[in-house]
Amino acid sequence: MAAIALRNLWARRLRTFLTALAVVLGVMMIAGTYVLTDTIDRSFDEIFTESNEGVDAVVSTKEIVEFDDGSLPPFDASLLGAVRKTPGVEEAEGSIADTGVAIIGSDGERVGAGGAPSLAFSAGLERFDPLTYSDGRPPQTDDEVVIDFGTAENEGFEVGDRVELAGRAGTREYTVSGLGKLGNAESLGGATFAVLTLAEAQRITGKEGEFDVINVAAAPGTSPDRLAANLEASLPDNVKAETGEENTEAQKQDINEGIGFLKTALLVFAGVALFVASFLIFNTFSITVAQRTREFAMLRTLGANRRQLIVTVITEAFAIGLLGSALGLLAGIGFSSVLEALFKALEIDLPAAGTVIAGRTVIVSVVLGTSLTVLSALLPALRATRVPPVAGLREGAVLATPRQHRIRAGIGTVLALLGMALMALGLFGALDPGELALGLGAVVVFIGVALLSPWLVPPLAGLVGKPLERLRGTPGRIAHENTVRNPGRTAATAAALMIGLALVSFVAIFAAGLKGSIDEAIDETITADLYLANSDGFSDIPAGAADAVGDVEGVELAAPLRYTQYAKPDGSKGGFLTLLDTAGAADVLELDWRDGGSDELLTEMGPNDAVLDEGFADDKGLATGDTFTVLTASGREIDYTVTGTFKDKTDFIGDYAASDANAAAYGEGDNATNVLVKLGDEVDTDSVRGQVEDTVEEGFPTIEVQNQQELKDSIGKQLNQLLGGVYGLLFLAVIVSLFGIVNTLALSIHERTRELGLLRAVGTSRRQVRRIVRYEAVITALIGAVLGAALGVIFAVLVSRPLADEGFTLTIPFGTLLILLVLAAIAGVLAAIGPARRASRLDVLQALSYE
C-alpha cells in the first residue's frame, strides 16, 4: 500500500508540490529563525570570549538597580590601589567601557543603527586588549582614537583622518591612529566603538576619576577562582569581583535574553505560518480523498481493509511532510539572510559571523513539519476508510458530502467562545503566563471559526458574490455558485487566509489605537515648545545640554527630565520614575492632579518629596503624608514623603516624580532622558529654534530638536517601522494561504473538467472561463478577508480592554481595513492566474470525455 501511496504522489506531482510548499514555507521560517539567532548568539559569544581573553578576574560595580539596558554606574578609581594590593594579583588595570560616545560621520550625523550602542573603551595594557588591529596602532596621545573597522568602511575613514566624537562631556576631534575589530565580527550589529587613552576616555564620558571595570591578571599559581575570591574579600561592598569566565558567561546570558525575545517573536510568526499551512494540508487531503472515492472503493472491492486505506493516505502525508520539511530546512538557511536583511531595513543590524546550523534546528524542523502534515491528514484519511466498496461500481459516485452536522456548528461556537474566554483570562492576568493563554486562545478561536465557517460561507459568498454577479454577469454568477457548492472546502481555504488577515488587521487596529493614545498623551502632558532627545530615539543625552540651551537668547527655560529606575529597599526590582527640574517642570509638563493638587507641588518640591502616579499610590496604599523608601543605583536609600498624586494614563512619568537634586544618587548625574524647552512669550519661534539647533549641533550632535508635532511624527515613524516588520513576517502566513487558494482551485478545476468542457462547448470563451476561475478565487479570498478583518476587530477590542484605564482609545481604521480587503481581492486574482490558465486551456473534446 505504501508503494501505491508514493506512486500517487508522483503521478500528481503538481499537487504534491503545492501541498509540500505550504510545509516548506512554515518550516523555512522556523529553521531560518534558529539559524539566524544561533548565528547571532555565536557572534556575540566570540566577541565576549575574545574581549575577556587574558583577563582572570573582573571588578565592576555591584548591580543594585537592574537597568533595562544592562548598564552599570562607574566606581571610584581609587579602588585600583586596593586591587593591586590584593594577594594573587599580578597586574590590574582600570578601564572605561561606556555606551554613550557616538562617532560623528562625514555627514555630521551620528554613525550607527538606531538601536545599537555607541561604545567607547580606554586603551591599555596589551595583555588585556581585546582588539585585533586591521590597520594602525592603539591611541598613544589624548588626541588619537581607534575606531571600529565597520564604521571606517562605511564612512570612508582611514588612519590619519580627523574624526569627531560626541560624549557626555561634549564633542572633540581626534586623529584616527588605527582600525580595530572585536573578535572576528565584520559587523557589530550596528554598534560602533571608539578607543581612547584612559584619561581621554574618562574625560569624554564624564567619568573622570572613575572606572567602569578593573581587569585583573592572576600571579602564577593563583587560580582565577582564588583570585576572584581574594578580591571579593578585600574590596568594599559597592563592587563585585568575578572570574573572566564568569564575566563572559554573564554577558552572554544578557545577550541571550535579548535575542531570546527576538527568537520567540520570530518563532511565533513561524508558528502562524505553520498553523496556516496545516489548514492547507487538511484541505488538500480532504479534496483529494473525495476525488479518489472510486479508487478507494476499487481497492476495497479488491480486498483492502480500512487500515490499509488509512496507511495509504498517511504514507502520502508522511512523504509530503518529510519532503516539505527537508526543503524547508534548506530554504530556512537561505531565509535567515532574508530575515537579517529585513532587520537591517528596520535599522536593527545584527552581527553575523558564519552560519550556524545546530542539530536542534534540523530535528525541530523535520519533526515539526512532518508530524504536522501527518496530523492534518489524519481526519481526511479516516474519511477515506468510510468509502463503501460499492461506490466504485456506481457511475459518477461521489462521497456523500459530509453532512454539516449541527454538532460541528455547536463545537465551533463553543470553541470560538472558549478561545475568547481564554484570551480574556490571559489578558486580565487570571492565567499565567498571560501571553501563552492569549496565543492559545487565539488559536482556539481560529479553529472554532474555521469549524463554523461552512455556515458562514454561503451568506458571505452572497455578500461579495452578488455585486460581482451584477457587475460581471454569468461568469460572476457561476463563480459565486461554485464557491458555495462545497462550503466546507471554500471555508477551509478562506479560513487559512482569515488567520493571516485577522492578525494583520489586529496589528493595524492596535497600532492605530496606540498611535492615537501616544499622540493624546503628548498633547495632554507636554506643554514645552521644543523637545530635545537622542536622535536614536531612546539613549540618554548629556545633561549639560540643558544649561547650554537655557543660555540661548529667547529660551525662557530648559528643563532636563530624567526617566530612570529604582529598586526596592530589599534589593528586588522596583520600577520607573522621573526626576524633574523642580523649578521649570511645571512650565513644560502638565500633570493631571488629584485631590486638589496643583503645580505648586512641583515648584515647591524638596529633595525628599515625591508625587505619585495614582495607580502606584493605590497599589501601595500610599496617601499624601505617607512615606516610602527606595534604593538607588548608587546604593543609597532615599526616604520620600508623598506630597500629592496625579493621574498619568500613559505611564509617561512612571511610579513617581521627584526632584533631580538626587540625580547623582540614581546614577544619572550627567545624563538626561530629555530636555524640555519653553520659549519666551514674544519671540520669533523659528529663529530661536534655529539658535537652539545651532547650539545643540555644536556641542551635542547626538541630540535632535523636535516640536510637539515632530515628536508625534517621529514616534509614528518608529511605530510604522515596527509595523512594517510585523507585516513582513505575517506576509509569509498570507503567502501560504494563497498557495491554499491555488491548490483548492486547481483541485476543483480538475474535478469540474467535464463541466468546463461543456461550458466551452456551448460557447464560453477562454477568457470567460478564466474569469469564472478568477472570480471564484476573489470571492474565496474576500470571504477570508472579511472573516479575518472581523476577527481582527474582535481581537483588538478584547486586547485593548485592560488598557482602557491607561487611556488606550480604540479607533477602527476603516480605510486600512478597506485597503486590506482590496489587497485580498488582488491576492485572489494572483492566486487564480495559474489555475485559470489551466482551466481555459483544457481541450474541449478531452474535457467532455473526461472521467
Residues that bind other proteins in the complex, under the rule CB under 8 A: 396, 473-475, 477-478, 481-482, 485, 754-755, 757-766, 768, 844-845, 848
Q: Cβ of residue 830: shortest distance to other proteins, in angstroms?
A: 24
CA distance 432 to 545: 44
Nearer to other proteins, 458 or 575 (CB): 458
Nearer to other proteins, 87 or 473 (CB): 473
Q: Among the residues of 592-707, which ranges form H helices? A: 600-603, 614-620, 685-699
Q: Cβ of residue 489: shortest distance to other proteins, in angstroms?
A: 14
CA distance 483 to 508: 29
CA distance 314 to 559: 70
Q: Cβ of residue 291: shortest distance to other proteins, in angstroms?
A: 16
Q: Cβ of residue 484: shortest distance to other proteins, in angstroms?
A: 8
Distances (CA, A) of 610 to 215, 582, 628: 40, 11, 9
| Inter-residue contact 626 to 642 (CB < 8 Å) | yes
Q: Cβ of residue 462: shortest distance to other proteins, in angstroms?
A: 14
Q: Cβ of residue 774: shortest distance to other proteins, in angstroms?
A: 16
Sign of the CA dihedral 800, 802, 805, 806? negative
Nearer to other proteins, 482 or 743 (CB): 482
CA distance 174 to 165: 8
Q: Cβ of residue 479: shortest distance to other proteins, in angstroms?
A: 9
Nearer to other proteins, 284 or 482 (CB): 482
Q: Cβ of residue 766: shortest distance to other proteins, in angstroms?
A: 7
What letter does residue 526 receive in the DSSP assignment?
Answer: B
Nearer to other proteins, 479 or 741 (CB): 479
Q: Cβ of residue 760: shortest distance to other proteins, in angstroms?
A: 7
Report CA 168 to chain centroid distance, whole Å. Answer: 31
Pairing of strands 573-580, 592-593: unpaired
Q: Cβ of residue 439: shortest distance to other proteins, in angstroms?
A: 40
Q: How big is the chain by its Cα radius of gyration, in Å?
A: 33
Q: Is 534 left (phi over 0), alpha (psi -120 to 50) or beta?
A: beta
Sign of the CA dihedral 822, 825, 831, 836? negative
Q: Cβ of residue 851: shortest distance to other proteins, in angstroms?
A: 10
CA distance 1 to 305: 11
Neighbours of 363 (CB within 10 A): 10
| Inter-residue contact 752 to 764 (CB < 8 Å) | no
Three cell numbers written together for 570: 530589599
Nearer to other proteins, 7 or 485 (CB): 485
The residues, any chain, with a CB within 8 Å of residue 72's CB and separated by 6 or more, are: 60, 61, 63, 212
Residue 421 buriedness (CB in 10 A; 0-12 / 13-18 / 19+): middle
Q: Helix or strand or coil: residue 677? A: strand
| Helices 814-841 and 708-751, packing angle to 10 deg | 30
Nearer to other proteins, 256 or 753 (CB): 753
Sign of the CA dihedral 186, 189, 192, 198? negative
Nearer to other proteins, 240 or 477 (CB): 477
Nearer to other proteins, 627 or 765 (CB): 765
Nearer to other proteins, 151 or 482 (CB): 482
Nearer to other proteins, 407 or 762 (CB): 762
| Inter-residue contact 216 to 92 (CB < 8 Å) | yes
Closest-CA residue to 597 (of 551, 657, 661): 657
Q: Cβ of residue 777: shortest distance to other proteins, in angstroms?
A: 16
Nearer to other proteins, 429 or 473 (CB): 473
The residues, any chain, with a CB within 8 Å of residue 435's CB and separated by 6 or more, are: 426
Nearer to other proteins, 726 or 844 (CB): 844
What letter does residue 63 receive in the DSSP assignment?
Answer: P
Q: Cβ of residue 441: shortest distance to other proteins, in angstroms?
A: 38
β strands within 585-681, DSSP E: 592-593, 609-613, 627-631, 637-647, 656-659, 671-672, 674-679
